[in-house]
Amino acid sequence: MQLYTKILIGLIGGAVVGAVANIGGITWLQDFLGTVEILGTAFINLITMIVIPLVVASLLVGTASLGDLRKLGRIGGKTLAYYMITTAVAVTIGLGLANVIKPGAGVSEETRIELTERYGGDAASRMDIAENAPGWKDTLLRVIPRNPVRAAADMDLLPLIFFTICFGAALTVIVPERKDAVLTFFHGVNDTSMVLINWIM
């Protein structure tokens, strides 16, 4: 059985057991899930632990291995176009389903009042956050990290990815001997990260 199949089965099984314990009010099952929660938290922490070295190493090696900066530009353009198209499709599907299904339309007035009282404050705070969100200029500037090490420590992946791509592009134009030395190191980091991923999984 493939690893991704096992992961999918585990996710579905966990969701079903959690839903049964919550909806059915099965106390002993809830207590058991609370006990094994430490395993889930440890698994998430282990996966998170390896994200930064894996992303940096694989992206740097991939970028530098292109050799020609024009190839990088073409790939970047195609990636951006793909991202914009898939985002537009996702937004269209979301809006279409919302208009067809009309979430909350069948909810009784009592339930509506209860939900408003329970979650109204949280919804208002989220609306404030959305209204005060930075504009496109600030968002664009945030992609360029002042300190890539700080971005890595904060798990701020987008600025880190930007720096890594720039670093990989710069590697393509330096002396081959020094470029190969850097790539050898990061090839090792990438391979080691993959071994760790297999161990964790």
- Residue 72 makes CB contacts below 8 A (sequence gap 6+) with 63, 66, 165, 169, 172
> What pLDDT is attached to residue 49?
92
> What pLDDT is attached to residue 106?
67
CATH number of 55-200: 1.10.3860.10
- Residue 52 makes CB contacts below 8 A (sequence gap 6+) with 152, 155, 160
> What pLDDT is attached to residue 8?
82
Q: Where along the chain do its domains lie? A: 55-200
* pTM flag (> 0.75): no
Residue with tokens 């009042």: 113
Low-confidence residues of the chain, pLDDT below 50? none
d(CA 118, CA 88): 33
d(CA 14, CA 21): 10
